Amino acid sequence: MTGSTLIILAVFAAGFIGLAVWDIVRSKKKIQKYRLRSAATAYLMLLPAVLLAFLFILLPILYSLGYAFTDYYLLTPNDINFIGFDNFASVFKEIGEKGTLYHAIINTLIFVVGVVPLQIGMALGLALFTNRKVRGVKIFKVCFFAPVVISLSVTSFLWLQILSPSETGLLNSFLGLFGAEPHDWLRDPKTAMLCIIILSAWQGCGFQMLIFTSGLANIRNDLYEAAALDGANAWQKFRTVTWPGLRSTFVYIIITVFIGACRIMTQPMLMTGYQDHTVTLSYYMYTQGYSYRWVGYSSAVALIMTIVIGTITLIQRRAFREK
C-alpha cells in the first residue's frame, strides 16, 4: 500500500515540478530572471495546499477509482485482483432485482426531494425573520444556529427520545393528550423517512440561514426605498428586490444542500439501523465497504454515485446560470 502511494506521490510531484519548470521556461528570455524568482515563490506558497488536496482529496478518489475494478475484500488487503466491470454488473443486477441498493436509491431520492426545499425554505424564512431590526433578534439567531454545532449523533439521540414508540415518548405523550394512540414513527415505512427529513432540515437549516443572512446584507437598502416609493408591498419587495439579490447565494445553497443530502448516513444509521425503508446510498456503501468488507464493490457504487451527483450538480449550475 505504502509503495503504490509513494509511486503516485512521485508521479504527482514530478508533474507539479514539471509544470512549474515549464511555466518558467516558456516565458520570454528577457524577463526570465524576474519570472524565476516570482514563480518559485508562488509555487512554494501553492505547495502546501496542493499537497493537502492531493493527499486528502485526489489520492482517495484515485484509489477508489482503481478499487472499483477489483475484488478488494477488507480482510485480505494483500490479495487484490483486477475483475474488470464485475462490480458494476453486480450494482446493476442488485438494482434490477430490487435489492437493498434499489431501496437505498429510492430512499435517497425521497430524502433529497424532501429535504432540499424544506431546509432551504426554513433557512430563508429564518434569515428573513432574523434580518429584521427588532430587539432580541440575535437570541433567536443563536437558537436557530445551535443545532448546527451540536453533533448529528447527539441530535439523532435527542430525536429518538422525541419519537420513542412507547406511550411515554415525547411526541406520543403529547398526541396522547388528544386521544391519539402511540405510534412507532421510525418503524412505520410511511413516517420513518419523513421524520428523518424533518430532523435533518431542522438540524441543518441554521447554517444556510447564516449564508442567506449574509446575502441579505449585500442587498442595497436604497432598492427597498425605491420599491417603497413605487408603492410595492412586502411580497412585491421580496419578489422584485430580495429574491433577485439572493440569486447567487441561492445557487450556492441549493448545490451544497443537494450534495449534503445525497450523502446522508448518520441519521438513518442511528435512528433505525440498516432497514430497507430508511437505508440510504451512503449508508449502503458504508455497510458494504466496512461491515461486509467489500471495498471493491462499495467503490463501484461510490463511483457511480459521484458521476450521478456531479452530473446533476452541473445541470443545476447550468439551469441557474445568469442569463
Binding residues for other proteins, rule: CB under 8 A, are: 1-4, 7-8, 11-12, 15, 18-19, 22-23, 26, 62-63, 65-67, 69-70, 73-82, 99-100, 153, 164-168, 182, 184, 187, 269-270, 272-276, 286-287, 290-294
Residues 6+ apart with CB under 8 A from 103: 276, 277, 279
Specify the residue, 71 or 237, whose C-beta has the smaller distance to other proteins.
71
Q: For cell 412586502, what's the residue?
A: 234
Specify the residue, 193 or 205, whose C-beta has the smaller distance to other proteins.
193
* Listed residue (104, 105, 72) closest to 87, CA to CA: 72
End-to-end CA distance of the chain: 49
- Inter-CA distances, 124 with 13, 114, 174, 228, Å: 45, 16, 29, 22
Read off the C-alpha cell for 237: 419587495
Q: Phi/psi zone of residue 136: left (φ > 0), alpha (ψ -120 to 50 degrees), beta? A: left
Q: How far apart are CA 68 and CA 307, in angstroms?
A: 13
Residues 6+ apart with CB under 8 A from 205: 119, 120, 122, 123, 126, 144
| Residues in a beta bridge with 294 | 73
- Smallest distance, other proteins to C-beta of residue 154, A: 13
- Smallest distance, other proteins to C-beta of residue 80, A: 6
- Inter-CA distances, 249 with 22, 96, 211, 242, 253, Å: 38, 39, 7, 11, 6
Specify the residue, 168 or 236, whose C-beta has the smaller distance to other proteins.
168
- Smallest distance, other proteins to C-beta of residue 13, A: 11
Specify the residue, 219 or 270, whose C-beta has the smaller distance to other proteins.
270
Give the distance from CA 173 to its chain's centroid.
34
| Residue 278 and residue 271 in contact, taking contact as beta carbons nearer than 8 Å | yes
Q: How far apart are CA 68 and CA 87, in angstroms?
A: 7
- Smallest distance, other proteins to C-beta of residue 53, A: 13
Specify the residue, 168 or 214, whose C-beta has the smaller distance to other proteins.
168
* Listed residue (56, 117, 69) closest to 253, CA to CA: 117
- Smallest distance, other proteins to C-beta of residue 241, A: 42
- Smallest distance, other proteins to C-beta of residue 151, A: 11
Specify the residue, 3 or 179, whose C-beta has the smaller distance to other proteins.
3
- Smallest distance, other proteins to C-beta of residue 108, A: 19
Specify the residue, 188 or 225, whose C-beta has the smaller distance to other proteins.
188
| Residue 94 and residue 102 in contact, taking contact as beta carbons nearer than 8 Å | yes
Specify the residue, 81 or 218, whose C-beta has the smaller distance to other proteins.
81
289, containing H or E segment? none
Specify the residue, 39 or 312, whose C-beta has the smaller distance to other proteins.
39
Number of helical H runs and strand E runs in the chain: 16, 0
- Smallest distance, other proteins to C-beta of residue 203, A: 17
- Smallest distance, other proteins to C-beta of residue 185, A: 10
